[in-house]
Chains A and B, each alone.
Chain A
Amino acid sequence: MQESILEADIVVVGGGSAGSTAAIRAQQGLPKGRVILLEKAHIKRSGAIAIGMDGLNNAIIPGHATPEQYVKEITMANDGIVNQRAIWQYAVNSYSMIEELDRWGVKFQKTETGDFDVKKVHHRGSYVLPMPEGYDLKKILTRVLKRSGVNIVNRVMATRLLLDGERVVGVLGFDTRDGNFVVIRAKAVILCCGASGRLGLPASGYLYGTYENPANAGDGYSLAYQAGAELTGIECFQINPLIKDYNGPACAYVTGPLGGHTVNARGHRFIESDYWSGHMMLEFYRELHSERGPVFLKLDHLAPETITEIERVLHRTERPSRGRFHQGRGNQYADDWVEMHISEIGLCSGHSGSGVWVNERAETSVPGLYSAGDMACVPHNYLLGALTYGKLAAESALEFVRDAPPSEGEREQIDAERQRVFAPLSRPAGIPHHQYEYKLRRLVNDYLQPPKSENRLRAGLAHFTRASEELEQLGAESPHELMRVMETHMIRDCAEMAARASLFRRESRWGLYHYRQDMPEMDNENWFCHVNLRRGANGEMELFKRAVAPYVVPLDESELRGYHGLRIGRPAAAEALGA
């Protein structure tokens, strides 16, 4: 295998939403500098929004919402465990991002008077801005990227970050088409690799039938961890209410403002708010597993023209194949409810609160390393958070590279990584990646899927430790298979992190996301803190508490519980889990 060596001032890993704005902003700040955007797929259809997006879930539009309201709502939705300064930074910078997207040609829904047509989906405030023609979003980002002068490198998978002592000075990886080893030296690295979406196994049993784009395999979580960066809130899993089997979002954000809602098998509503939070998911879980289950999205009471409008959006953006899924089964919104379920767990800050620890400048705990988007912990950041924080990460990195000396990195590390990455090619008859991955992710379901308990988590951890040894048996016959093998390494790292973080937090919090059957109560006295983890000096995973920084927007005790009791008609505590 050849080795290609590239040099850059800033390298961005991942060309989805966050990575696009990060690379564009970095190149703007370095008109003569070298910015590389590294993408495992191809930037025209990569990241979580390969086929566009139907709306912004968290737009703070003057006249509709204020940064104070938004920070309060997201703090509530996360039971208080947030770095408010990071959320505040998003809240005050995101409107200018919307204006920039508007200038780039992204079409937002507007009222007759030309105002942004904001909808209410959250429990308290109004933050949803529809983009009925959002299928153009990825194309627009690609166009702006191509004009920016960024050096785009497609089909290269990053497998480790290059280090110089504690500082990150580049990226190591390989070309998934020709198999060449790739070394990129850079003064700063911005990780924008998306969620860990291939952690649990979908209920369908199909490895790639995930909610997230399956290319988002948790690469960024593993890259950051192996480079010594802190991760946080990993026990706060991503769990979504999805269309059964299809696993796309049932899309309360699109249908809710038009009159659609979630019901049980009797047709009764049971949750106050369809906004995705751990407490909403706990009520969803209870209903699903009660005699009133399963759970459905109900649209059959809507006017035909409203249903046509819903189809126009849902069958063209985000997951457009849902139309043929329903049609294939002979179902239509006008007559049939859409069955929903809970499928695989994942890690994601865009939807939940699990990610790489970053501050309001998108700095990780490692010098020279920045992160943005679904993998960087700014809770409930979603698409607009990724776009906004991509820019912020680039601005911080630009400041850093001004005075940072270049570094060659450690040659020993480069050689060791080359050996590690290519080892599976020397075992073409080894265990195939898909069998290893199926088993690993099936074990994630068996032992990590909430409700959690100490016994199950410990058993799971033992399996993931054994799975670490089994990685040595994996074989690959081509660079493509090698990519899938290296992804399983990353998925395994995420599984171990998820088990250890869930064991460490000895209480329940965030509704279903961290529901411990053996410790069902929230315990603010001992656990009103972040749980962070990192790779310790001895190579073992270290877990520790980090205090919640003083709030920018204060909340009183009852406001902090604002997302508890989302069940309609009865207090949440009155019903035992699963009863």
Chain B
Amino acid sequence: MSELLDRESLKAEAAKRVGNAQAVRRFDVPVVVDEQKCIKGCRICIDSCPVDCLAVNPATGKSHMAFDECWYCLACEIDCPKDAITVKIPFLLR
């Protein structure tokens, strides 16, 4: 028994000092960009976003929601000159 406790207390100390490990998980995000309509090089929606959660997708050159930080304010959707954006209510609130 005391051996177990010793081990636990050693591991508890180790847990305080050990480095960080990471895992990645998917998020469903509210801003959906129609890549057929979105124009390369146009950054209007990226400028509009008050929380800066949109960015150019390096894979396509089109805009996408890069960070799960949307306020569903619709600025990007309203300002898009090509009607390429649809904002959904974030799933947690929907």
User: Per-residue 0/1 for A151-167: is the Cβ within 8 Å of any B Cβ (1 yes, 0 no)?
Assistant: 00011000000000000
| Count of chain B residues near A, Cβ 8 A | 28
Compute how far the CA of A434 lies from the CA of B22 in the bound complex, rounded to whole angstroms. Answer: 14
1/0 per residue, CB under 8 A from B, across A321-337: the answer is 10011001100000000
Indicate whether B93 reaches chain A with its CB closer than 8 angstroms.
yes
A-B contact count (CB 8 A): 91
Q: Does B42 contact A (CB under 8 A)?
A: no
Is there an interface contact between A429 and B50, defined as CB atoms closer than 8 Å?
A: no
Residue of B71, B78, B87, B88 touching A214 (CB-CB under 8 A): B71
Given A42-B47, A45-B48, A483-B52, do A213 and B93 touch, yes or no (CB 8 Å)?
no
Q: How far is the CB of B58 from chain A (nearest CB, A)?
A: 13
CA distance A566 to B47 in the complex (A): 45
**Residues of A with C-beta under 8 A to B22:** 429
Query: Which residues of A have CB within 8 Å of B67?
Result: 480
Q: How far is the CA of A213 from the CA of B67 in the complex (A)?
A: 16
- Residue B14 CB within 8 A of the other chain: no
In the complex, the answer to whether A42 meets B48 with C-beta atoms within 8 Å is: yes
Do the beta carbons of B49 and A45 come within 8 Å of each other?
yes
Q: Are B51 and A208 in contact (CB under 8 A)?
A: yes
What does the 1/0 interface line of B68-87 toward A look like (CB < 8 Å)?
11111111001100000001
Interface string of A315-354 (1 = CB under 8 A from B): 0000111001100110000000000000000000000000
CB within 8 A of B93: which of A44, A176, A206, A431? Answer: A206
Residues of B3-32 at the interface with A, using a CB-CB cut-off of 8 Å, are 19-20, 22
Residue A367 is within 8 A (CB to CB) of chain B in the complex: no
Chain A residues positioned under 8 Å from B75 (CB to CB) = 45, 50-51
Q: Which residues of A contact B93 (CB under 8 A)?
A: 204, 206, 209, 245-247, 325
A421 touches B (CB below 8 Å): no
Residue B92 interfacial (CB < 8 Å): yes
Which of B19, B66, B70, B74 is the one whose CB lies under 8 Å from A320? Answer: B74
B19 touches A41 (CB 8 A): no
Binding site for B on A (CB under 8 A): 41-42, 44-47, 50-51, 154-155, 176-177, 204-210, 213-215, 245-247, 319-321, 324-325, 328-329, 429-431, 434, 475, 480, 483-484
30 pairs across A/B with beta carbons < 8 Å? A41-B49, A41-B50, A42-B48, A42-B50, A45-B48, A45-B49, A47-B50, A51-B73, A51-B74, A51-B75, A51-B78, A154-B47, A176-B52, A206-B90, A208-B51, A208-B70, A208-B71, A209-B72, A209-B90, A209-B93, A213-B50, A213-B51, A214-B69, A320-B78, A328-B94, A429-B22, A431-B20, A434-B68, A475-B20, A480-B66
Leading 8 A-B pairs by shortest Cβ distance: A45-B75, A206-B92, A41-B50, A245-B93, A45-B48, A321-B72, A429-B20, A42-B47
